[in-house]
């Protein structure tokens, strides 16, 4: 039976997202205390794969996950899920909203309900937990007065919903990544995402040169952000998501070019995009970019030049 780690405890948004993936069917789901613990479990081989939140439409990427993906041994993304998040204010039976003096959630949960908390719980101390469900568990144990979590977490821990649907942005979604140790990428589905991370020399135009390798091949860059390299001042990892698959000629050429241009480049996986997730483009070759047949023709021409049969 496959074993899949996830950001626990049970009833987190991560578990909900994981259960939407086909890989979860028939698998043993193993809760871990924090995203770094999930990555460690996958690296050590304690589990086959792991599921963690990687990006939120309100707060952006999850720093602990981005930083963990550049550590060794390497990990790759083999799938993704997207979940619309719905937050509720949870408390033990008998507790009223006016009684709440402490409220907690995962940092992203706090960030997505900050305005509601300020307006409706102005005197409450706001604390953070390793997950939304752990905050609910702390309330059930009597360590906190209330938690901002999924309604499912309230049912899991015997809590009542004081106020439902309290997100500041009702359209917020979170993207979750399914991680494994390196291996053959999933086959191209025709609607894929490739994730990579790279470092470049700190000189004018270095990043532009990297991005041009994507642009000239018609590859849609859907996300880029920097994270500091922990032991090197003023140097950064650039995390990138692109539409396309490593098996496709355009993406393959681009990755080879980045390998030549960058100080370091790490391939973090090509995998099917979530059907209900953000694309950042239609995933097709850009109108002014080369089509797949052009890459094949160019490769054939180059092979002929090297063989002396073409000019």
> 10 Å Cβ neighbour count for 90?
31
Q: Which residues of the chain have pLDDT under 50?
A: 279-287
* CA 79/CA 94 separation, integer angstroms: 42
Q: What is the pTM of this model?
A: 0.84
Residue 292 has a pLDDT of 66
Residue 290 has a pLDDT of 62
- Residue 62 β-bridge partners: none
Please give, one letter per residue, the 3-state secondary structure of 59-83. CEECHHHHHHHCCCCCCEEEEEEEE
* CA 161/CA 146 separation, integer angstroms: 10
Alpha helix (H) ranges present in 3-106?
13-19, 35-44, 63-69
Distances (CA, A) of 299 to 43, 56, 173, 202: 37, 40, 41, 33
Spatial CB neighbours of 121, under 8 Å, sequence gap ≥ 6 = 97, 100, 103, 146
Long-range pairs for 17-25 at CB < 8 Å and ≥24 separation? 17/51, 17/53, 17/81, 17/82, 17/83, 17/174, 17/176, 18/51, 18/81, 18/176, 18/178, 20/81, 20/83, 21/51, 21/79, 21/81, 21/178, 23/49, 23/79, 23/178
By the 8 A CB rule, do 123 and 146 touch? no
Spatial CB neighbours of 275, under 8 Å, sequence gap ≥ 6 = none
Read off the tokens for 311. 């000019």
The 3-state DSSP class for residue 89 equals: strand
Read off the tokens for 238. 């650039």
- Residue 126 β-bridge partners: 103
Residue 218's φ and ψ, nearest 5 degrees, are 70, 25
Please write the tens of the pLDDT for every residue from 192-209.
999 999 999 888 888 999
Q: Please give the sequence-ordered ranges of beta strands (E in DSSP) within 137-279, or none if there are none.
A: 146-149, 160-164, 173-180, 192-199, 221-228, 236-243, 264-272
Nearest to 53 by CA among 42, 43, 71, 65: 65
Residue 2 has a pLDDT of 95
Q: Is the dihedral of CA 161, 164, 168, 172 positive or negative?
A: positive
Nearest to 28 by CA among 59, 2, 63, 55: 2
* CA 231/CA 235 separation, integer angstroms: 9
């Amino acid at each position: 039976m496959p074993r899949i780690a996830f950001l626990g405890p049970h009833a987190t948004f991560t578990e909900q997202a994981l259960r939407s993936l086909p890989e979860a069917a028939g698998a043993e789901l193993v809760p871990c205390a924090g995203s770094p613990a999930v990555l460690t479990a996958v690296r050590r081989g304690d589990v086959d794969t792991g599921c963690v939140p990687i990006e939120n439409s309100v707060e952006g990427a999850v720093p602990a996950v981005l930083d963990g993906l550049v550590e060794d041994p390497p990990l790759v993304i083999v799938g993704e899920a997207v979940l619309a998040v719905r937050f509720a204010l949870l408390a033990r039976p008998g507790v009223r909203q006016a009684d709440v003096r402490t409220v907690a959630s995962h940092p992203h949960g706090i960030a997505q309900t900050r305005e509601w908390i300020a307006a409706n719980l102005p005197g409450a101390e706001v604390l953070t937990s390793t997950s939304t469900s752990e905050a609910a568990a702390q309330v059930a144990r009597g360590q906190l007065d209330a938690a901002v979590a999924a309604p499912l977490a309230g049912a899991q821990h015997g809590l009542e919903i004081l106020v439902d649907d309290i997100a500041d942005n009702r359209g917020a979604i979170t993207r979750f990544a399914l991680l494994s140790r390196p291996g053959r990428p999933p086959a191209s589905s025709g609607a894929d995402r490739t994730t990579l991370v790279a470092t470049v020399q700190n000189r004018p135009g270095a990043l532009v040169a990297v991005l041009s390798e994507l642009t000239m091949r018609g590859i849609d860059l859907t996300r880029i952000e920097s994270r500091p390299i922990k032991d090197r001042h003023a140097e950064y990892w650039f995390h990138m998501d692109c539409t396309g698959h490593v098996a496709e000629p355009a993406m393959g050429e681009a990755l080879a070019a980045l390998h030549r241009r960058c100080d370091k480049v790490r391939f973090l996986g090509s995998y099917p995009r979530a059907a209900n997730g953000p694309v950042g483009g239609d995933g097709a070759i850009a109108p002014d970019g080369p089509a797949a047949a052009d890459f094949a023709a160019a490769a054939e021409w180059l092979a002929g030049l090297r063989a002396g049969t073409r000019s």
